[in-house]
Amino acid sequence: EGEAEEEELELTVTGLDGVVCTVLAEPSWTVKRLKRAVQAAVQIHPADQVLVVGTALLRNCQVLGEIPLARPAEVTLLKKCFSAAFEGDAPDMQKVSEYAADVHEHLFEQEAASVVRAGHIDGQAEINGRMRAILVDWIVEVHGAFRLRPGTLYLSVSIIDRYLSLRAVLRKELQLLGVTAMFIATKFEEIYPPDAKEFSHITAYTYTPRDITGMECRILAALDFRVSVPTPAHFLDRLKRANGCDAVHGGLAEYCLDLAIVDVRAASRPPSLLVSASLLLSNDVLGKQPRWPAAMVHHTQYLEAELHDCVQELRALLEAAPGAPLQAVRRKHQIAASMAPRRQ
């Protein structure tokens, strides 16, 4: 006999005013597919839906069959217009406002590709977390020296960590890995990327252009040419705007985020989680109330409780930063603060 077909899930979708609709779903459906079914029943766009089971927020990439659901199951639909922060985007063609919500959702679905396993550096014979931190601190310095875009920094660090999770690296080649990761990242992020000679110069000619292009081939082969993945830069701007950040508030969140990427633990956390925790910590430091409003739950797809552990790690890094031996991030943000317009 063939295997029994998976039993359909009967999901009762309720709102604040009672039952909204009933959906018959397959266990193989993702939450995103469920939202489309709800849209077909009640004409609420998936981007405007927040689905909750008990106290757990459902994320688009989750599979219904892997979620502990009662039979029959009840799902709570929270609907609210959280788009006020983006109402001015329509005239700016580069913000593609008609697709922005879908692009944002797609980033959440794809970001797992940028996350490495926890302890990914433990398998290295000659490299440890301290050495990685020194490398990333230097990368922050180089990034500032070349005046590169924020996305270049985050993609560089992502390439470093993904390569370290796949290949053994000699201690004498660690800086070569770092400078080559940035060489690759600039090709994706910059309009006028520095060439291999300029990157050779920044290492005081420790590595030749040929060394850099040779390492580039090794990195691309190890990554199977999957270079561009979601990084914190893809989430940061939209979530800062959703949070209502001004220049000072946004600068504090970016400072927390940059401190995080120097720490090896950040490599195993989704970029959206790091950005969300940085914003929540900045809200707390600046006394914003509520600390984590409903709009941020909607846009980040994280409840405040889910961010707690990461926020505590960031808080410890923030408090330790003045006396930490690695100071590139502090110097970077002190320079940025000195160039920013003063509050009246």
Last residue of a domain, one of 55, 79, 103: 79
Position 85 in a domain: no
Q: Strand ranges (DSSP E) for 54-119?
A: 56-57, 73-79
- Provide the 10 A C-beta neighbour count for residue 285: 14
Same domain, 335 and 238: yes
Confirm whether 344 is domain-assigned. Answer: no
Contacts of residue 139, defined as CB under 8 A and 6 or more positions apart, other chains included, come to 153, 156, 157, 160, 178, 181, 182
- Classify residue 64 by burial, with Cβ atoms within 10 Å: 0-12, 13-18, 19+: buried
Note the pLDDT of residue 337. Answer: 56
Largest CA distance in the chain: 77
- 181 and 239 co-located in one domain: no
Indicate which CATH number applies to the domain containing 192.
1.10.472.10
Q: State how far the Cα of 94 lies from the Cα of 2, in Å rounded to an integer.
A: 52
- In this structure, are 131 and 200 located in the same domain? yes
Q: Which domain holds residue 48?
A: 9-79
Task: Determine phi and psi for 19, rounding to 5 degrees.
Answer: -70, 130
pLDDT score of 338: 52
Taking only the tens of pLDDT, the chain with its 344 residues reads: 444 456 788 899 998 788 989 999 999 999 989 999 999 998 888 877 888 888 788 888 888 988 888 878 899 887 655 666 676 677 778 777 778 777 888 888 889 888 999 999 998 999 999 999 999 999 999 999 999 999 999 999 999 999 999 999 999 999 999 999 999 999 999 999 999 999 999 999 999 999 999 999 999 999 999 999 999 999 999 899 999 999 999 999 999 999 999 999 999 999 999 999 999 999 999 999 999 988 898 888 898 999 999 999 999 999 999 999 999 999 999 866 554 444 33
**Any domain includes 94:** no
DSSP character at residue 63 = B
CATH number, domain of 54, equals 3.10.20.90
Residue 70 lies in a domain: yes
215 plus 309 within the same structural domain? no
Enter the tokens of residue 275.
């950005």
Neighbours of 129 (CB within 10 A): 16
pTM for the whole structure:
0.83
Examine the fold and report which residue of 64, 79, 94 is the final residue of a domain before the chain moves on.
79
Do 285 and 252 have their domain in common?
yes
- Looking at the structure of the chain, the number of domains it has is 3
User: 265 and 316 in one domain?
Assistant: yes
Please report whether residue 95 resides in a domain.
no
Question: Quick one: 181 and 259 in the same domain?
Answer: no
86 part of a folded domain: no
Q: Given 173, 197, 223, which residue is the final one in a domain?
A: 223
Say if residue 269 is in the same domain as residue 208: no
Q: 129 and 202: one domain?
A: yes
Q: Is residue 320 included in any domain, yes or no? A: yes
- pLDDT score recorded for residue 1: 42
pLDDT for position 83: 62
**Do residues 104 and 82 make contact, with C-beta atoms less than 8 angstroms apart?**
no
pLDDT for 82 equals 63
Residues 320 and 274 in one domain: yes
Is the CB of residue 232 less than 8 Å from the CB of residue 257? yes
Does residue 219 sit in the same domain as residue 246? no
Q: Looking at the domain assignment, is residue 98 inside a domain?
A: no
Do 147 and 207 lie in one domain? The reply is yes
